[in-house]
Chains A and B, each alone.
Chain A
Amino acid sequence: MPEPSTAAVRSAPTGVIHDIGYQRYKGTRLGRRHVFGALYLHGLRTTFGFGRSVKAKIFPWLVVGIVTLVAVALAAVRSQIGEPVATYAQFADAMSWLVIFFVAVAAPELVSRDLRSGVLPLYFSRPLPRTDYALAKLLALVTALWLLLGGPQLVMFLGAAFTTKEGMGGVWNELLDLLPGLLYAGLWAVVFASIGLLVASLTGKRAFAAGGVVAVFLMTTPIVGVLSILPSRTANELAGLASPSTLVQGVGIWSLGDLLVEGDPGEMTIGGFGPVYALAAVLLVAGATALLLARYRKVAS
């Protein structure tokens, strides 16, 4: 659009603008907590493509659709044959590949886009501290992943609760099974979000960020494979530490026991190293978060 004509057209109704005039803002100004909340909600909406183009909605909702469909199918089969096909935790494990792809799309959407467009100076010239920006984005991704796994778990629970033949006692037992499952989904969410967001925050190019996230999660799997066929039993039992997915599963086996490995205990053994897995998971999340905050202390200053 040629600028002169725009300027000419726009400056024509100057009288109107002058009549209304500029109004100083006398209303409330919210504090840090509210701004953090607004950014968090904005981030959560972004991960699912709300307030964004149709194109940005396709992938997140495809993943949501698949996991929900699987949950519905599991609930349906269960109501027919009368016994659970998979526990809540096993469901989370089975969906881990989809979670990885969801992170690979959502994390760059949350942070790489802002790096690319250079919008960060507009955030950081406002009262919002840099750490709040990073933490709000991280919390948004954690919530999104937890909803992604927890939502379908809730579907499975509802399916089981409505078809149980043991009355309220059956529902109560089912709820006791669901709660650890939701906690386990939370563990998946925290570990995958902290690593995924850190990787994505390193580049403004969304394709690179997505590739990087997938690479970090998938390229580490062969290491686990190699370690788990070594002739040393200790190496086999610690092999899961090498990849985020198996690390989470290790913590799950340690803390949830038969809720996770019911039926096929042979696939992955952690021996007596359960606490090591738990400690490693905590350190991994803490380390990734610290690096993320360090990254945002430097960027765009």
Chain B
Amino acid sequence: MTLIATQSLTKTYGGRVTALTDLTVAVEPGIIGLVGANGAGKSTLIKILLGLIAPTSGQVSVLGIDPTADPTAVRARVGYMPEHDCLPPDLSAAELVTHLGRMSGLPRTAARERASEALRHVGLYEERYRPVGGYSTGMKQRVKLAQALVHDPDLLLLDEPTNGLDPAGRDAMLALVHRIGTEFGISVLVCSHLLGEVERICDTLVAIDGGRLLRADHISAMTSATDVLAVEVSEGTEELAARLAALDLPVARDGRLLLVPLADDGTYDLILGAVAELDLPLHRLDQRRHRVAELFATRELTHA
């Protein structure tokens, strides 16, 4: 079954600002990373998926349901974690999540039970009885995640779940999202502007930029295509480039850097051998971190 499918989805605000342009994408259940720079249209897409805003044109389906036609049915099966602060400071996490569980149609006792379950799963224990106003950013993000989980959805839409967290908090949140996607049997759509972050946990990656689809692919296909070694030598860059080209390695120049696609571990040996033979001072040799810009660049390259 297709989890989310869009067909030529376009959204313009007030006829001027274009948030999404002709977006066509289909993804299977699992953990999906939705990557794009700020303002790329990630939040707009999520709001359309929830039926909160109507697309200007195009079709969309979530869990096989059209959110523009039957938003209630979609929202009953989807959990949403907004990007911004959305927690009343004077309520305790337990009260808030219980209340929101009831708003999703859970009976009173079931709401209370599932609220404490959800809070336990995100790692909040005794502190759930204290007012949310006194929580750290990390704990607040966990409460936001718990309220999205309380009614046992089939799909979670997480808008920048690692926003404002320190590195350890980010890792914990990503591990949690990964566990929800793998152990809980709930599909997850994670929004982020950091590709390096979501690529660690997701099966499928959807990259958008300026409201357009850059790529949508299985993560393995995407990383094998984009893994690149960056080589920098203090001098003799030209000689090294020639030598590597002679070794049948497709070398590209990027300023002072030489970029070599990483085929396997042998690529390292070939490069190091070439540098040693030419007796060049190696400045650095590392695997490039992916950024959204690179996905964009790759696409340009393949289409050129």
Seen from chain A, the residues whose Cβ lies within 8 Å of a Cβ on chain B are 1, 3-4, 6-7, 10-11, 17-18, 21-25, 27-32, 34-35, 38-39, 42, 51-53, 113-114, 117-119, 121-129, 301
Contact = CB atoms under 8 A, between A and B. Distances in A.
Nearest to A116: B88
Contacts of A18: 183
Given A7-B171, A126-B75, A1 B136 contact: yes
Interface stretch (B104-112, B221-229, B256-264): B104-112
A23 B150 CA distance: 11
A127 B50 contact: no
Nearest to B153: A25
A122 B169 contact: no
Interface stretch (B25-33, B113-121, B247-255, B293-301): B113-121
Contact of B183 (A22, A38, A51): A22
A1 B100 CA distance: 26
A56 to B, nearest CB: 8
Contact of B104 (A27, A51, A126): A126
Interface centre among A22, A35, A52, A122 (most CB of B within 10 A): A122
A119 B121 CA distance: 22
Given A1-B136, A7-B168, A24-B152, A124 B90 contact: no
Interface residues of B, number: 52
B75 A125 contact: yes
Contact of A117 (B52, B88, B152, B185): B88
B123 interface: yes
B95 A51 contact: yes
A18 B179 CA distance: 10
A283 B222 CA distance: 62
B53 A42 contact: no
Contacts of B73: 127
Interface stretch (B55-63, B79-87, B275-283): B79-87
B187 to A, nearest CB: 13
A121 B148 CA distance: 11
A17 B117 CA distance: 10
